[in-house]
A = this chain, B = another copy of it.
């Protein structure tokens, strides 16, 4: 699905506090989504909430979500759709204020509401599975054996078209009360980064097998 330049705010996507941190433009929303591959997928089962860590990939204005055909949400989603809330969050820093109250986290998050559907079309499934692999390591899908028919049947892919979606971003430094300025506490921001390390080859790989170019770029080697 193509996407608008700006997603329309709704009652659910306007936060009840810190509204200045909310953003609805596609550029911000997509950049946060594209910076990761793991979301938390929420759905309702027997009237109660369930939240599962789930791999995702964005293609245009669509999120693809990965699962097993045996899993409960994906079985449900094949029967007319599953209402979901998909949330992806990155932490960028720890904000240590002079007061406990103003401690905070620098973060970027996206929350998407909607109804997810199983993907049955073989060509769309193939594209989605490739996108899910490439969301983890760009370029990887071209360097592995594609799923055969049996494997593909064991893998469920959910599709969520982005429509009711928002980003929330906190950046910057400490926001202390003016009267706390002279308190004797260290204050500032501790940066948080997630990084990838030196790839560990499978023992079955021939010794001396070089890292493929896309993987060397990915790990910055």
Contacts and interface: CB of A to CB of B under 8 A. Distances in A.
A197 B192 contact: yes
A186 B203 contact: no
Interface in A97-112: 97-101, 103, 105, 107, 109, 111
Given A99-B144, A199-B190, A201-B188, A42 B38 contact: no
B68 A16 contact: yes
Number of copies: 2
Contact of A84 (B12, B47, B49): B49
Interface stretch (A1-9, A22-30, A173-181): A173-181
A103 B193 contact: no
A140 to B, nearest CB: 6
Interface of A: 12, 16-17, 38, 40-45, 47-53, 55, 68, 70-72, 83-87, 89, 91, 94, 96-101, 103, 105, 107, 109, 111, 113, 129-130, 133, 136-137, 140-141, 143-147, 151, 154-155, 173-174, 176, 180-181, 183, 185-205, 209, 211-212, 215, 218-219
